[in-house]
Chain A
């Protein structure tokens, strides 16, 4: 083995320092962001990569998928804007799903960090914009072109000079241009803060980023391989189904092959690419697969290129997990959120003491646009279902999983929109039965108050097929969507007239283990 270039104490000190720098930048962004999704729902991520686009450190409080996609975004942009062509003050931007996070509303910004005339690192941030134009967020979209503005890889700023043409285009194509630009300036503040932190760190510690990154990756990879080796070698397969508001359910065929400290996931047999927005591009498929593996095997190992190197993923092109451009993909979570539960289901025989039953997800949500006091508004709200039960405890209810998106307080919804919330409650008794109970689903009812009409769209899952239980546990209760008391199709958008009432019931989580066995155990002295 080659001599260790950085000792295990120095490395830890540098790493703690770096995480604090990234968190400091994330804090600057969160507090300036306009999108309530960033503020209330942590729908953002900040990552620092090395000059090759390999992740060094990431913000602590972010949703899991972005942490997997953002370093890839940097590498995609580097292919278009080669390292040597970049200048201080350049700001790169894109939202193309295949390069970015998987759907258009997330705009990715990448800023090179220069030191002595050389780009030594990249500050990267992505966040969900308040609006990206196009048709409303909903599963019924057929092509990417309907889903909003595509921002091809471009320089928002070129050597410090703002690209006014690009900005004019951006502003013209979204519903709330001031809010969007506010979030972009917030992203820029974040990248500058990160960049300054890196400079200070280099001055203080003299760290060589390339050496530092290499050593961190080497150790993370070794830890992940050790965690994989703890599993018995073999192939673990499952088939996992879910309805997400489409005529047919999505089928995830998932075969996890564990061999010699490596883990390969093959999604061959999964539903083909669909003419609607649920398609999950490869980077999103990859990110959620890694999240599932990591939360099961090695929660403590930092998320970086080293820890994901032993994990390989294959999804055949033309499937819902690897669609071809320009497939619609704005609601990619409807497929991507199925991956961690599918992986857990597959690995249940190998890891019965860790896995959770299926949750009441993919994440349900609704978006409303219209006018309030003669001003346009657009608001997206998440409504979680129950979490699946596990060997240790009942599933929490309700709780966002595998995503991590917060609800918006009723009082904020009613301040920002003409909606009035009638009820936000737990659907008691809907969690799957078993030795441990699944988490209950949630009921949210609201009505539109006058005078203007509005438009609402939904993401709904598991209205027909319940979240299955695991290892003998029962299924969770199914979801429901009604407008004025009638079941409606969630894959289209609906005009609302003042007085119309919407009822969303999210699905509950599956139960874990046989109930009878539990009772017998309880009766024993």
Chain B
């Protein structure tokens, strides 16, 4: 669950309200308007995002790009309830003033993001499922990779496989590494295994055979047999879910897909029913981990691809904000109560990774979860949030996180019984937060309790309370900067060329200092983080991914075979994209080829347009590979022989930025550029407190220019600029900070 104030900032209870247009913002969505102008009438698109605490919704009407927002508590026992309610509420908001009883009919699309898949895996309440494997590999999911994710933990906890041994069946069949059939499928044995699984009462069956990534014939045949013998049984085959080499990782992905499939299929079918019931006949699109959306039918087939559906929406929202400001290279930075997340995005496209982990036993320990081979927005997550607890390590040094005080008891200053000093307590003492204006003043913070908690630490460290408060804030910034630095370096990129876009309750408080550590000069703070993911869902392109592995030296590639496999994948993918509503738009098709020097383990991805798969492509590939390799590692390998491992086909509709027009209750409209107060705040450059002006963020009209150090207050967060900087309010009320 993403419970607590921590997860994502969903604090915008008051955001359920009217729509108003902000002057000057009309032209922003012009491109989109033109795209849509060929259609008669006003069309409505709806985005709904289910989080751990809140289910958020945004409706957008085109032309005009006007937005309405709604929010409901998530209904965990039946998440579709809140989803439908939010939709009804949005339609009501649109319809009421216009007396338009037929608003539902104008809805052309509902885009949906959800954490259901992630939660099902974490909470282990998925389906009872079976697994059919090649003879001799039944224990692969138990044996895993035999490594310990923590060298010094003698009581290492491991995640249990989702299919217990008694539901795993071996079949005598075999392909070789080139895809040649060594042993035909023993169909009688298959039928027996399926009958046994049926008798055991499984709801879904995963099939994962050795080398199916290169020859899927046996898997497909078992699927056929299964369809005949057990109609209605859910089935996932590895060559369709994750057609990639490495049997443990592929098997893990396929079983996890099976594990969540019955639940998600039912959920999506019911949701479609609910939408029809409220007269919304528009197709349902689902946000997938890769940062695109797909049809509800495709999502029901491969629900594991929804694993990072929620965070992907947040990243897309940050990317959209930056694109609107004319910026395409972004480090999206989200900091909530428990964690901080970061994601690199270049050219308006978030980085996508092809392996991931689900259901970690230790949330922040790599390797403690179950591997999942799906394209997923490549974000890092560390235990650094407002609730992160400061403590003293065995070495007597100050440490912050990853333990968090959570929503209860929360930071000491929440006065709910929390005794530990947290990042929020430090931020309060440093003057970054205002005790009277937290969550718009709804929740008063207790400065005395924060001081007490910090004093305890200060005494043990034999340091002053200010030093400790700044130490906590600075340390959590360093931890985030360090994680971001490694993340960016792994991609061979230079952080200084990026703009940081901050979201989440604590993001705008810390972003300037983190940027400063990364030598990043430009920072943007988006509007209303509360509905951030939904804006991302509306801005998302349609996207489809397919892949297959075949390990071959580049000079020996059988181009006819590659062409025919890619063509087949293309036809399949194109059908899926059409179903996802991308019919009219221009689709950008690319192939991402995973190449390495023969003998290496890891690959480098080379991306090319998808056309003319022929021997001449080999030369282009080598050149591109060496260029990318040198960019990443400084040099190529003399005498190395390039080898292809995996081919990935991606279709994506064009990236369009959306200029959303925000509700006016977020902007007082008074157009005042005067500070509402002045307050004492810690200034890191000075190493001491100073007095800085405090502004009401939504009182500042677009075009306002301010100078840092200063503070911009808003309901869900506070933009803290503790250094000399130029601050500007952009047309869509995004705050832009340029550090000196």
Contact = CB atoms under 8 A, between A and B. Distances in A.
Contacts of A216: 395
Contacts of A420: 174, 176, 182
A204 B481 CA distance: 13
Contact of A299 (B152, B248, B632): B152
B98 interface: no
Given A182-B600, A396-B156, A425 B138 contact: yes
Given A16-B482, A295-B151, A299-B152, A411 B211 contact: yes
Nearest to A421: B136
Contacts of B393: 12, 300
A24 B475 contact: no
B483 A20 contact: yes
B139 A24 contact: no
Interface in A1-38: 7-9, 11-13, 15-17, 19-20, 23-24, 27-28, 30-34, 36, 38
A424 B140 contact: yes
- Chain B interface bracket (under 10, 10 to 19, 20 to 34, 35 or more): 35 or more
A161 interface: no
A42 B147 contact: yes
Contact of A9 (B152, B394, B467, B634): B467
A471 to B, nearest CB: 15
A20 B393 CA distance: 18
Interface residues of A, number: 90
A39 B635 contact: no
Given A20-B482, A299-B153, A404-B147, A7 B490 contact: no
Interface stretch (A106-114, A143-151, A173-181, A231-239): A173-181
B251 to A, nearest CB: 10
B279 to A, nearest CB: 51
B479 interface: yes
B65 interface: no
Contacts of A64: 151
Contact of A34 (B140, B366, B394, B600): B600
Contact of A412 (B245, B602, B639): B245
A414 B640 contact: no
B429 to A, nearest CB: 15
Nearest to A300: B394
Given A178-B599, A420-B176, A411 B245 contact: yes
A356 interface: yes
Contacts of A393: 155, 157
B422 interface: no
Contacts of A301: 394-395
Interface string A375-400: 00000001010000010110011111
A143 to B, nearest CB: 30
Contacts of A426: 139, 142-143
Nearest to B549: A411
Contacts of A16: 475, 478-479, 482
A301 B399 CA distance: 13
A76 interface: no
Interface centre among A193, A425, A449 (most CB of B within 10 A): A425
B318 to A, nearest CB: 23
Contact of A390 (B143, B155, B249, B638): B155
A449 B182 CA distance: 11
Interface string B449-473: 0000000000001010001100100
A407 B143 contact: yes
Contacts of B633: 28, 31-32, 186, 189
B482 A17 contact: yes
A309 interface: no
B247 A390 contact: no
B155 A11 contact: no
Interface string B501-520: 00000000000000001000
Interface in A168-201: 176, 178-179, 181-182, 185-186, 189, 192-193
Contacts of B174: 420
Interface string A403-445: 0111101111011000011111110000000000000001001
Contacts of B184: none
B597 interface: yes
B74 interface: no
A16 B551 CA distance: 39
A17 B478 contact: yes
B489 A24 contact: yes
Interface centre among B210, B211, B486 (most CB of A within 10 A): B486
B677 interface: no
A400 B154 contact: no
Contacts of B136: 421-425, 445
A442 B143 CA distance: 8
Given A30-B602, A422-B136, A294 B152 contact: yes
Nearest to A13: B478
Interface centre among B174, B483, B517, B640 (most CB of A within 10 A): B640
Nearest to B482: A20
A184 to B, nearest CB: 10
Contacts of A226: 394
Contacts of B148: 399-401, 404
Nearest to B636: A185
B483 A411 contact: no
Given A185-B637, A401-B148, A445-B136, A9 B599 contact: no
Interface in A459-506: none
A354 B176 CA distance: 46
A423 B633 CA distance: 38
B482 A189 contact: no
A220 interface: yes
Contact of A400 (B139, B147, B176, B397): B147
A415 B475 contact: no
Contacts of A220: 395
A515 interface: no
A356 B489 contact: no
A182 B637 contact: yes
Contact of A406 (B145, B366, B597): B145
Nearest to B136: A423
Interface string B127-165: 000000001111110110111100111111110000000
25 contacts: A7-B467, A8-B396, A9-B468, A12-B475, A16-B475, A16-B478, A24-B485, A32-B633, A34-B601, A64-B151, A130-B599, A181-B637, A185-B637, A185-B638, A193-B489, A204-B517, A227-B394, A299-B153, A356-B154, A399-B156, A407-B145, A415-B177, A424-B136, A425-B136, A426-B142
Interface of A: 7-9, 11-13, 15-17, 19-20, 23-24, 27-28, 30-34, 36, 38-42, 61, 63-64, 130, 176, 178-179, 181-182, 185-186, 189, 192-193, 204, 216, 219-220, 222-223, 226-227, 291, 294-296, 298-302, 354, 356, 382, 384, 390, 392-393, 396-401, 404-407, 409-412, 414-415, 420-426, 442, 445, 449
- 6 closest Cβ pairs, A-B complex: A39-B601, A9-B471, A299-B152, A423-B136, A20-B482, A12-B397
